[in-house]
Amino acid sequence: MNDLSASSQIIHRAVLVRPGVVRRIRGLSDKALAWLFITPTIVLLLAINIFPLVWTIYLSFTNYRANRANAPTKWLGGEWYQSILTDPDVWAAMQVTAHFVIWTVVIETVLGFGLAFLIDKKFRGHGLWTTIILLPMMLSPAVVGNFWTFLYQPQIGLFNYVVAFLTGRDASSFQMLGDVTLSPWAIVIVDAWMWTPYVMLICLAGLRSIPDYLYEAAEVDRASKWRQFWSITLPMALPFIMLAVLFRGIENFKMFDMVNLLTGGGPGSTTEVASITLKRAAFESWRTGYSSAFAIILFVTVFGLANIYVKALNRVKSR
Partner 1 sequence: MSLSNAAHSIVEPSISTRRFAGSLVVLYAIITMIPLIWIVLTSFKSPDDAISYPPKILFTPSLEGYCNLFTTRSRQTPEFIKTLGPPQGLCDGIARDRNMVIAGPSNYVPRFVNSLIIAFGSTVLAVALGTLSAYGFSRFRVPLKDDLLFFILSTRMMPPIAVAIPIYLMYRTLGLSDTRLGMILLYTSVNVSLAVWLLKGFIDEIPREYEEAAMIDGYTRFQAFVKVVLPQATTGIAATAIFCLIFAWNEYAFAVLLTSGNAQTAPPFIPIIIGEGGQDWPAVAAGTTFFLVPIVVFTVLLRKHLLRGITFGAVRK
Site for partner 1 in 141-170 (CB under 8 A): 141-143, 146-148, 150-151, 153, 155-158, 161
DSSP string covering 281-307, please? IIIIS--HHHHHHHHHHHHHHHHHHHH
Kindly tell me the burial class for residue 204, based on how many C-beta atoms sit within 10 Å of its own C-beta (0-12, 13-18, 19 or more): buried
The C-alpha atoms of residue 33 and residue 215 are separated, in whole angstroms, by: 49
- Return the residue of 85, 227, 303, 308 that touches partner 1, per CB under 8 A: 303
**Rule CB under 8 A: is residue 176 a binding residue for partner 1?**
no
The C-alpha atoms of residue 267 and residue 269 are separated, in whole angstroms, by: 6
* CB nearer to partner 1: pick between 105 and 295: 295
Buried b (16+ CB within 10 A) or exposed e, 150-162: ebbbbeebebbee
- Given its phi and psi angles, is residue 65 left (phi above 0), alpha (psi -120 to 50 degrees) or beta? beta
- Return the residue of 52, 78, 235, 268 that touches partner 1, per CB under 8 A: 52
**Rule CB under 8 A: is residue 230 a binding residue for partner 1?**
no
Q: Which residues between 54 and 73 bind partner 1 (CB under 8 A)?
A: 55-56, 59, 66
- Return the residue of 22, 44, 71, 102 that touches partner 1, per CB under 8 A: 44
DSSP string covering 168-198, please? ---TTS--TTT-TTTHHHHHHHHHHHHHHHH
Q: Which residues between 195 and 224 bind partner 1 (CB under 8 A)?
A: 196-198, 201-202, 204-205, 208, 212, 215-216, 219
- Return the residue of 42, 71, 102, 106 that touches partner 1, per CB under 8 A: 42
**Rule CB under 8 A: is residue 115 a binding residue for partner 1?**
yes
- Return the residue of 95, 272, 274, 308 that touches partner 1, per CB under 8 A: 274
* Pick from 241, 150, 141, 153: nearest CA to 191: 141
The C-alpha atoms of residue 280 and residue 265 are separated, in whole angstroms, by: 10
* CB nearer to partner 1: pick between 84 and 295: 295
* Pick from 190, 102, 186: nearest CA to 141: 190
**Rule CB under 8 A: is residue 233 a binding residue for partner 1?**
no
* CB nearer to partner 1: pick between 182 and 302: 302
Count residues contacting partner 1 (CB under 8 A)? 111
**Rule CB under 8 A: is residue 49 a binding residue for partner 1?**
yes
* Shortest separation between residue 279's beta carbon and partner 1, angstroms: 5
Is the CB of residue 281 less than 8 Å from the CB of residue 289?
Answer: no
Q: Which residues between 72 and 111 bind partner 1 (CB under 8 A)?
A: none
- Return the residue of 81, 136, 185, 266 that touches partner 1, per CB under 8 A: 136
